[in-house]
Structure 1
Amino acid sequence: MGEFDLIARYFTRPARPDGAVALGVGDDCALLAPTPGMQLAISSDMLVEGRHFFADVDPDALGHKALAVNLSDLAACGARPLAFTLALSLPRVDEAWLEGFSRGMWALADAHGCELVGGDTTQGPLNICITVFGEVPPGQALLRSGARPGDDIYVSGNLGDARLALEALLGHTPLPADVLARARQRLERPTPRVALGLALRGVASSAMDVSDGLLGDLSHILKASGVGARIDTHITSKLIAASAYPSSAGALFDAELIRQCTLAGGDDYELAFTAPPTQRDAVAAASQASSTPVTRIGTVLVTPGLQLVDAQGQPVDKRYASFDHFR
């Protein structure tokens, strides 16, 4: 199978007539027609075999995740997905793999009305790069720079299960089969919180997605906003779903492992955001409207820096380093 046959079979479909794509796959450029007056939100992510995913990962799950991590960026900006491009490096043409990968990718794209409009394919080490396009009304994009002293700090969903799965798959932490299966689902099939991001427009003062670990990603908000934060670790530690799985009864995980996974785990693709206390009812309404649980985990402070406290309000004297490709 040649390159163009591959593209035609697995990555070409007619554009939806009611969508934002005026011209899709087939020409040198795609043409987008965003809603008049809207701003474009654009983000790119790359997934590299052996660095971001295991070689034996289910290709359906990989297709899902490749797009999900990009949609998560749009969610953090409060943008509605429009379209995406796919640059794919393949060591060889494996039709079964391509069928699974494209199936997982298309399923998530359809769920969010996001059209594939172009890209590139080449032979080489397995490498997936997606650029996603969304739209947001002027002045309503959620940014990292809007947090203010006194704001509440929230996180959506669960934290730490993806890191726990990774620890198990690397042989560092043995897990019962059912616990690993559920945690691995979080690692390989994250849920982009697009509906929550849209619901938080005009409510949240800042936001970003949690990809490299809660504390590391939250530090970007603090730096951009020129503020500090206090995080209640006894609350974040309850957000790892694995500790509540029936076979574990919470006994498998010591407090330090839970803190490491929830505070610095990475691959959660939840939203971390801030909002004034006066917006608590609005945050609750956004949570309900998007069917996405949110948890208040701390407070924005005037003094720069990140403080961790335990259930008694005492400092947690330990550093938790989030993921860094070059550290």
Structure 2
Amino acid sequence: MTRGGGRPDEDGLIARFFRPLATAPGAAQLLDDAATYQPPEGHELVLTTDALVAGVHFFPNDPPDAIARKALRVNLSDLAAKGARPVGYLLSIALTEDWSPDWLESFADGLASDQEEFGVALFGGDTVRTPGPLWISVTAFGLAPEGQVPRRDRAVPGQKIYVTGTIGDSALGLKIRMDESLRTRWQLSDREAEHLLDRYLLPEPRTRAAGLMNDFASASMDISDGLAGDLGRMCSASDVGAVLDADRLPLSAAAAKAVRSDPSALNTVLTGGDDYEILVTIDADAAEVFEAAALDQGVRVTAVGTIMPSFSGHVRVERRGQPLVLDRLAFRHF
């Protein structure tokens, strides 16, 4: 069961680190080639997948438990935006030659912690070796009431545009990881800087907002590649336009201080990505009830713009009533 250095072979690796995570009956303790799951009557299965690559989506020296939790949480964010309650996930991981049992044990501990927090279980996956870099792919699935899954192609002129939580923290945190001098330039306290760094390291999927999406959303999606760019994708899919009011963006105290100290940081807030908040359009006559329901669920929501008839470019960002020119709309993988 082991090879050089005391590391387990693939079967031993799965048994030691991942079988304890496969708590659902359909996972068959990871002893079969496939898992099973029967959705309850009146629900449909919502599936999503995201891959994370070292040096692209996380730093190779990030804590392994945080890497694991981020890989799972970015998928849970997608499910929440579709009004789905998370149920389980599949995990594929390509380990580099220098992997260690201690690293993988911490990685598995991170998954176990989030499984308990979000009520999900591992159903299967794959483990392989790679010359590098390390990569992780999670496919998550959840349940939504049948016929109530909001899509990004259903935005309609006149609707209000909302976002959950705060925008820009993660992208600003990444900036600090790349350039520590920004702590001083942005006049951040240690606590404020750590807040931004933590938001980059560990997203907070808005799973409590899933029911709100079923009840109120016309169009919705999670914000992963930047608010301005993801809004543009929604508008393109819906064949509409949007006016985004940068003055109404919900900013944390740390992000607000960064923008006051360095106005160019606003560009990062709007386009940097990794927010993993929910972008949603709501009928204007339902906005007040939606806001009250969100408050009741403990979900912060902020109206940041309006859906308009389609126009060239789809998204116009304004600040103090004037157009704001961005150097790009979103993070691009290619």
Deviation at 1:253, TM superposition (A): 2.9
The answer on whether the counterparts of 1:24 and 1:30 sit within 8 Å (CA) in structure 2 is: no
Q: Does 1:186 align with 2:186?
A: no
Q: By percentage of residues, which structure has more helix?
A: 2
Q: Does 1:29 align with 2:34?
A: yes
Query: Sequence identity of aligned pairs in percent?
Result: 37
Instruction: Give per-residue Cα distances to partners, 1:53-75, cap 9 Å, x unaligned.
Output: 11110111111101000101101
Which of 214, 219, 238 is the aligned partner of 1:206?
A: 219
CA distance in 1, matches of 2:167, 2:65: 23
Instruction: Give per-residue Cα distances to partners, 1:31-77, cap 9 Å, x unaligned.
Output: 11211232111111000001111111011111110100010110111
Partner SS, residue 264 of structure 2: helix
* Equivalent residue number for residue 239 of structure 1: 251
Deviation at 1:240, TM superposition (A): 4.1
Which of 221, 230, 234 is the aligned partner of 1:221?
A: 234
* Equivalent residue number for residue 111 of structure 1: 117
CA distance in 2, matches of 1:20, 1:264: 42
AA at the equivalent of 1:303: S
CA distance in 1, matches of 2:181, 2:106: 29
CA distance in 1, matches of 2:92, 2:209: 28
* Equivalent residue number for residue 135 of structure 2: 127
The answer on whether the counterparts of 2:231 and 2:279 sit within 8 Å (CA) in structure 1 is: yes
Deviation at 1:297, TM superposition (A): 0.2
* Equivalent residue number for residue 47 of structure 1: 52
Distance 1:113 1:251, change over 3 A: closer
Q: Does 1:230 align with 2:230?
A: no
Q: Does 1:146 align with 2:159?
A: no
Distance 1:22 1:120, change over 3 A: closer
Q: Provide structure 2 residue ranges, at least 5 long, that are not aligned to the other structure.
A: 1-7
- Residue correspondence of structure 1 range 1-327 to structure 2 within 5 A: 1-13=8-20, 21=26, 23-91=28-96, 92-124=98-130, 125=132, 126-171=134-179, 174-175=182-183, 176=188, 177-236=190-249, 238-243=250-255, 253-257=261-265, 259-304=266-311, 305-311=314-320, 313-326=321-334
CA distance in 2, matches of 1:14, 1:89: 18
Partner SS, residue 212 of structure 1: coil
Partner SS, residue 261 of structure 2: coil
CA distance in 2, matches of 1:23, 1:224: 40
Partner SS, residue 51 of structure 1: coil
The answer on whether the counterparts of 2:161 and 2:304 sit within 8 Å (CA) in structure 1 is: yes
Partner SS, residue 310 of structure 2: coil
Distance 1:172 1:215, change over 3 A: farther
CA distance in 1, matches of 2:260, 2:251: 15
AA at the equivalent of 1:38: H
Q: Tell which deviates more after alignment, 21-30 or 208-217.
A: 21-30
Deviation at 1:14, TM superposition (A): 7.0
Instruction: Give per-residue Cα distances to partners, 1:142-174, cap 9 Å, x unaligned.
Output: 110111100000011011111111111112752
Deviation at 1:127, TM superposition (A): 0.7
The answer on whether the counterparts of 2:267 and 2:326 sit within 8 Å (CA) in structure 1 is: no
Q: Tell which deviates more after alignment, 169-178 or 44-53.
A: 169-178
CA distance in 2, matches of 1:243, 1:130: 30
Partner SS, residue 75 of structure 2: helix
The answer on whether the counterparts of 1:90 and 1:122 sit within 8 Å (CA) in structure 2 is: yes
Distance 1:288 1:93, change over 3 A: same
Query: Alignment length, in residue pairs?
Result: 317
AA at the equivalent of 1:283: F
User: Given the two structures, how large is their TM-score scaled by the length of structure 2?
Assistant: 0.89
Instruction: Give per-residue Cα distances to partners, 1:52-110, cap 9 Å, x unaligned.
Output: 11111011111110100010110111111111010011113412211221111221122
Distance 1:15 1:88, change over 3 A: closer
